[in-house]
Amino acid sequence: MIEDLIRRRRSIFPDQYNDQPIDRATLFRVLEAANWAPTHKRTEPWRFKVVTGEKREALGAFLRDKYLDLDPSPKEFKAKKLYHNPQRAAAIIAICMQRDPEERLPEWEEVAATAMAVQNMWLVCTELGIGSYWSSPGLIRHMGEFFDLAEGERCLGFFYMGYYDEAPPEGTRSPLDEKISWE
């Protein structure tokens, strides 16, 4: 049931991934699910930049170097993590949003539609046994220096993906009754 799949969805982090690659057909399947997210006025604002192979190291080097350039008191462990996480992942998908040029709807609706596309990706990854994690480092505002972004397009984060060996942790949520008021 879909409810079981939703409850099993977890953040699985790059340091938990094994070395098994994700083939292009599987990546396309995950992205095809994203393409079916709801979208107001059919703007379909989601855009994806798939990073695999040697480009992962280039992304890690860019993130590390940009962090070291911008932070007045950089931390070595963070610089190493920024460099190594892309290399630990089998694939990284840069989550981008293309703003409707006519601005027919509020920007938050296009951000929300893009987030729904990512949730679709996450659910398919869960079904396929692929770990995934949405990271939104402050450095994403500089991704136009790494990726060729179109006018009105911006990066919202990275969707790290990789197969993993250990069972994901059980999920917990506070009681739903604490979040509902019946009017």
Say which residue the tokens 């992942």 belong to: 89
In order of 20, 63, 66, 141, the CA distances from 145 in angstroms are 30, 11, 10, 9
Tell whether residue 135 is among the known ligand binding residues: yes
Please give the biggest Cα pair distance in the chain.
55
Closest CA to 163 of 124, 128, 122, 136: 128
**Strands annotated E in the chain:** 46-51, 91-98, 130-135, 153-163
Q: Is 174 annotated as a binding residue?
A: no
End-to-end CA distance of the chain: 30
134 among annotated binding-site residues: yes
Binding residues for FMN are: 9-11, 40, 134-136
Binding residues are: 9-11, 40, 134-136
